[in-house]
Structure 1
Amino acid sequence: MSDRKPVFLVTGNDLAPQALDLLKDYEIVFAGKTPTEDDIVALCKQRDPVAIIVRYSKVGAAAMDAAPSLKVISKHGSGTDTIDKAAAKERGIRVVAAVGANAAAVAEQALALLLAAAKSVVTLNDRMHSGHWDKATHKSVELEGRTVGVIGLGAIGLRFARMADAMDMRVIGFDPYAKDLPSYITPVDLDTIWRKADAISLHCPLTAENAKLLNAKTLAACRKGVIIVNTARGGLIDEPALLDAIRSGRVASAGLDSFAVEPMTAPHPFHGEQRITLSPHIGGVTADAYVKMGVAAAQNALAVLNAA
């Protein structure tokens, strides 16, 4: 009988020490900094993990079939769109997520991008460093009294909405699954968000139904001068349509932390657009969130394994 410990495969090159402490009875195999799907399939064949903690890349049917002992796939974060959930269900593999573990971090990034877009923070910083003083010619957007449309009212969207309310913004929100919303969020349909929102912040998962939710048609329905913020998934936005709307002035500015293809390829059409503020999908990447997500991912996986 083998004394080999069962394997946890981590699709990344690290995990918080607090999470590793929880997994001391298992062998931890790291897939590397930027693993491909083929890398993950190969490691599944070699090591036959009982659990996969998903940080980067996708986990599809081929990886699941390569690991006959696999019982659970645990997301290091809240979004599970990189996991083939239908394939997992067919194979009796549980998919779990660290819902809410990075809510504070991502909501803060969304607020930072909203403020950066409204206040031209990046452009003014660049101008100042080039020796300019634009006080006589520049006017920022004041957010007090403006309407923000929040699409997706899970842990992150709710936290962002609370921040916006604290700034005396009017908050309208769309989420067909949300219940018992706080009084400061007015539930509306998407058409109302397009018509009434001065700023729109995306906080929903990416699904086949809402892919390219912001597209030429919906952007044309938005208020002229709307601000767009996306800290969710890049696939929610038709990127060429957004660029056209920015250049036409339909969209005043955008703050984006996620993109259709990641890592973003260079050159990219967004590069050099002064009214688009970019960050490399780091909304949930803080020292605190790193620990919270790692611990939650480990705990969620262990709960499934211990119940088996």
Structure 2
Amino acid sequence: MSYIFTSESVSEGHPDKVCDQISDAILDAYLKEDPDSRVACETLIKNNIVVVAGEITSKGNPDLEPVIRNTINSIGYDNDDLGFNGSNCEIQNHIFQQSPDIAQGVNEGEGENLEQGAGDQGLMFGYACKENEALMPAPIDLSHQLVKKQSELRKNGGLDWLRPDAKSQVSVIYDDNGKSIKGLSAIVLSTQHDEGISQDDLKEAVLEEIIKPVIPSNWLLDETKIFINPTGKFVIGGPVGDCGLTGRKIIVDTYGGMARHGGGAFSGKDPSKVDRSAAYAARYVAKILLRLVLLSGVRFRFHMLLVLQNQPQLM
């Protein structure tokens, strides 16, 4: 049986991904000063406004304003022409301490269970397959590579009319019930750009400089459809075009829909938050098992209970 599977990815300049990076930068700043910090940080961006909120308990006390501004500028939102500028954007800070009721269940030696516990309940999945060296499904892997190439050419000046916001989508044709890949059914790449570039020049450059270097030539079939900026224009982007929020790209962050997802996001969460740490552990276990057994793919699941130990399960 033959079927098509599609996954998408987004660039570092996509508004939701900007928020993920700000939340993670705040997490890193606290962990650098106190490795035992408890951090749950969310970010929202719209136009030239950044709102950070959450619960943090730490012995560290980093200055968050330069952390936030440096993160935004490093992504590429560093001038007023984009409508979002890390150097002068408004920052609202609504971060408070973690609830002591939760903390006593997580901290070792406190609460009814004296061992360190999980920060929440939930399901976390890990997956690995043999479709490439990254042990990732081809649709999400190729989608990631496309937006990474876009970012690389934007930053090194190869295509200096590119702007930070971009999205990709790849549809893979699987044969033999998923045992082999015939090629690609469709590729979509939408990239923000300066006003001055014509759509014809943009499409030619994106095809030759981004798509062809990334996609294996034998997977570009006669019937493969390629869509580049299908709306015809993408000058307005980032948080001016769309509000951004931490944790809205959970499928992009994992396996592109090829494997199950428990619903929890990664960014802005310290290791006591099992949405992140247990998902990483499940991926690690899946990769190890894939190398040990003669299977094309491995799925591994953790059932996490608040405060209590985990219940692993091979799927």
TM-score by length of 2: 0.25
1 or 2 for the larger relative contact order (CA 8 Å, sep ≥6)?
Answer: 2
TM-score by length of 1: 0.26
